[in-house]
Structure 1
Amino acid sequence: MKIRIAVISRMEREGGGSFQYGASLLEALAKLPKDQYEICFWYNSAALDGFVEKLPYLHAKPKWYFVQLLRVVMKIARVANKILKSDRIKDWLEFDALIRAARAWKPDICISLEQSYNPLSKNIRVIGPVHDLMHRYESSFPEVGAPAEYEAREKLFSRHARNAAAVLVDSNVGKQQLIESYGISADKVHILPFVASPLLVESTSPPQSFAGDHDPFIFYPAQFWPHKNHMAIIQALSLLPSDLPLHCVFAGTTDKNAFGPVRNAVRDAGLENRVHILGYVPDADVVWFYKNAFALVMPTFFGPTNIPPLEAMQYGCPVIVSGIYGMPERYGDAALYINPKNPGEIAHAISRIASEPGLRQRLISNGYAQVAKWTKEDFQKKILEVVTSVSSSLVRP
């Protein structure tokens, strides 16, 4: 009898790295042995339709047409929760269409593609990721450290650590943080390093949103959260020598709370003609930016690791990234590392790539080699290993 695996996702494309990681995980699950596993995928984002069609082994069950109604209902539920001082209503409604459908299928294992998951029931083995615990390690940022957000993350991750059959993390640092934060058994934590997104597609044409001559430019694809630290790049641009008038491209949804301050900082620095804020950028355009950028600059405060540096390396773009948490472990000698609190270091790293003979090409070559150390096939083998481990603990009739 085949083992039934229910895969669940409520990812939206605007979810950034979580969405890209989920796609990699889904692609890997589609490679599981067909004679041993039956996989059914419930999801609520139409953005995944085209990708899912390329994975015929998966039995896809799209529920995205419920999304708009569900969002309205959830808003009402949040108000009711505040009045009743209880999460009971929200917990009952959340993920309702997906959870109920998956439960009726009676799976043996449930795999969530993102860390905001909802276990089906106690007798179903759950596998899911914990991307970061930055609410504990970088709690000064309100997007994770505000009291309500901190409490919600603690509740989620402590429950996951306690109940999950397997937890997926990106690095040794991520594993150690999870163990020391929640006392989880080390054998339940599996290191599954990120890979470049399978959703990226190549384009040879410059994006319409970036018309004109803006070479050379640095690139940073990130949503406008304070921890993404766009401000440091703006300050670094002002410190560059006059003979290095780089442009800068920011790509990411503009509905987050750092967008207004970043836009104002660009204006105050007199950089409106050099800093280009494009908003959400399609996957094909992202590849074009990687292939044509002077460098990826990512002075984030969050880790342990991130996906954009791997994507940049895959497409021959030099990388400047924060030297914190698991970044040096993951990117090795394929990146220049900076202190995200120091715009001067960012400016110096940019200047080095421009002025040091051979440095840019060396970073590009090292990037290709670094990506080759952990491939999509390695990622898929590790998923099989994790699922096999969890499957072995099942009690079958």
Structure 2
Amino acid sequence: MKIGILLENPIQVGGGFNQAINAIVQLQRIIGKQHKVVAFTTIKANLQHLKRLGVPAEYLPAAGRASRIALAVLRRLFHKEIGKAWMARKIENALLKADMDLAYFVTHSSTPNYFRKLNYVTTVLDACHRDDLEFPEVSSDGRFEERERHFWTCLPRAVAVIVASHQLLKRIVVRYGIDEERMIAMPFEPSPFLSEAHSIDRTAVLGNYGLRDGYYFYPAQFWPHKNHTRILEAVSLLKHKLAVGADIRVVFSGADHGNVAWIKQQARQLGVSDNVTFLGFVPVDHMRALYEGALAVVMSTYFGPTNLPPLEAWALGRPLIYSAHLNEQIGEAALLADADDAAQWADAMLRIRDPAVAVDLIEKGRKQLKVVDAERLEAEALFACRLEQFVQRRKCWK
């Protein structure tokens, strides 16, 4: 069997991109000896990132410059959905021409909604447009309706649906009536770029950003749901709790999705601008050093039920403070704080300055990471069995 893996997101999407890369490497590892696995990307720049990890890939020009121009014309003349369908058919035809038997979408993608011939596996990382529908990134400008159409159209036709947790699996079964036996809860794993082979010396990286060890690190793109506001409010409270002159620093890294100006305005109003460093989107080679230089990793996000930074904090031996309502992923390996309560975040950030508390959390993080690794191995075996079942059925037609 020949399986085509589709990577349609650029590296700037952050955690979603890293998880997609992990999924490509994972599939090659678990079935690459029995079947041919071919990686395709619609973004030419992704080829270099895949090559660094030893993953050969092919560029699908269906989403290249000319196609984007054509898509813009189609959107103006007809409707957004017509443009999407046109693009998807080009991708499907390219995969069929390459004799692929199955397509595997490793990120959230509407492309398979418009497939007419090729079977596919799809991925769902969250259903937060239903969990936290107040946020504009999942509710405004028709985004809620678009995601609902995608879930109702794409998921029932998938050979398998890969989700990030058992909790998310149950929600999708209840909300969309998807057969549970076609779903696989596959836990996240840390970014492959965090290995020392893909990292730069910590002293050099921190010096490049004018940082020194001992800051609170929040690696997250600037979406409203990431809740950077709560961290700023906590810093404001901490400045009054700690001795005068205490060095409190928070480092935010991540691309701007329209919310940075608002967060910076809030920092000024709270009087904490001098305590916050905005790095923007940073090279993947710098992430290991930024984690290692942190006093603690903080993640006050509303969206879940799973996220990548907790795993990366544990893998690199950093203590974690995390949103309490997402505790299922965490076990006892973090201090928990209510995403709505700045005082709880300030208290947790103060507690974690105690070396005994930090060391205990680091050890619990290592243990929790082993639990997640065991769950992933079980899920990989289930995924391999599901694919072998498809292989037998695929033999029944030309």
Using the size of structure 1 for normalisation, the TM-score is 0.90
Match of residue 181 from structure 1: 175
Matching residue's letter, 1:143: E
Gaps of 5+ in 2: none
Match of residue 394 from structure 2: 394
Matching residue's letter, 2:151: F
Match of residue 69 from structure 1: 66
Shift in alpha-carbon separation, 1:213–1:145, aligned structure 2, 3 A: closer
Kindly indicate whether residue 100 of structure 2 is the aligned counterpart of residue 98 of structure 1.
no
Partners of 2:222 and 2:252 in 1: CA distance: 9
Q: CA deviation at 1:54?
A: 5.5
Moved more, 183-192 or 114-123: 114-123
Shift in alpha-carbon separation, 1:295–1:229, aligned structure 2, 3 A: same
Kindly indicate whether residue 117 of structure 2 is the aligned counterpart of residue 115 of structure 1.
no
Matching residue's letter, 2:225: H
Matching residue's letter, 1:89: I
- What is the CA deviation profile of residues 289-327 of structure 1, one whole-angstrom value per residue up to 9, with x for unaligned ones? 111101111110100110011011100111111122xx3
Match of residue 290 from structure 1: 291
Aligned to 2:248, which of 240, 246, 251?
246
Partners of 1:281 and 1:213 in 2: CA distance: 14
Contact kept? 1:28, 1:383, Cα under 8 Å: no
Partners of 1:48 and 1:380 in 2: CA distance: 25
Partners of 1:300 and 1:263 in 2: CA distance: 18
Match of residue 141 from structure 1: 135
Shift in alpha-carbon separation, 1:130–1:47, aligned structure 2, 3 A: same
Count of residues paired in the alignment: 386
Contact kept? 1:29, 1:383, Cα under 8 Å: no
Partners of 2:175 and 2:285 in 1: CA distance: 39
Aligned to 1:171, which of 156, 162, 165?
165
Partners of 1:389 and 1:300 in 2: CA distance: 38
Q: CA RMSD in A?
A: 2.4
Aligned to 2:234, which of 216, 220, 236?
236
- What is the CA deviation profile of residues 186-206 of structure 1, one whole-angstrom value per residue up to 9, with x for unaligned ones? 111110011111133332234
Superposed, 1:1-397 pairs within 5 Å as: 3-53=1-51, 60-63=57-60, 67-81=64-78, 86-95=79-88, 98-119=91-112, 121-146=115-140, 148-200=142-194, 201-205=198-202, 206-207=204-205, 210-240=208-238, 241-243=241-243, 244-254=246-256, 256-324=257-325, 327-355=326-354, 358-375=356-373, 378=377, 380-397=380-397
Partners of 1:257 and 1:191 in 2: CA distance: 32
Contact kept? 1:8, 1:113, Cα under 8 Å: yes
Partners of 1:89 and 1:24 in 2: CA distance: 32
Q: CA deviation at 1:381?
A: 4.2
- What is the CA deviation profile of residues 337-382 of structure 1, one whole-angstrom value per residue up to 9, with x for unaligned ones? 1111111111111111114x51100111111121122339726545
Q: Secondary structure at the match of 1:94?
A: helix
Matching residue's letter, 1:175: L
Contact kept? 1:31, 1:380, Cα under 8 Å: no
Partners of 1:156 and 1:135 in 2: CA distance: 12
- What is the CA deviation profile of residues 141-193 of structure 1, one whole-angstrom value per residue up to 9, with x for unaligned ones? 01001251011101111112211111111112101110111011111111001
Q: CA deviation at 1:7?
A: 1.3
Matching residue's letter, 2:330: Y
Q: Secondary structure at the match of 1:128?
A: strand
Contact kept? 2:50, 2:56, Cα under 8 Å: no
Which has the larger helix fraction? Answer: 2
Matching residue's letter, 2:16: S
Moved more, 30-39 or 185-194: 30-39
Q: CA deviation at 1:70?
A: 3.1
Shift in alpha-carbon separation, 1:202–1:370, aligned structure 2, 3 A: farther
Matching residue's letter, 1:354: R
Q: CA deviation at 1:384?
A: 2.5
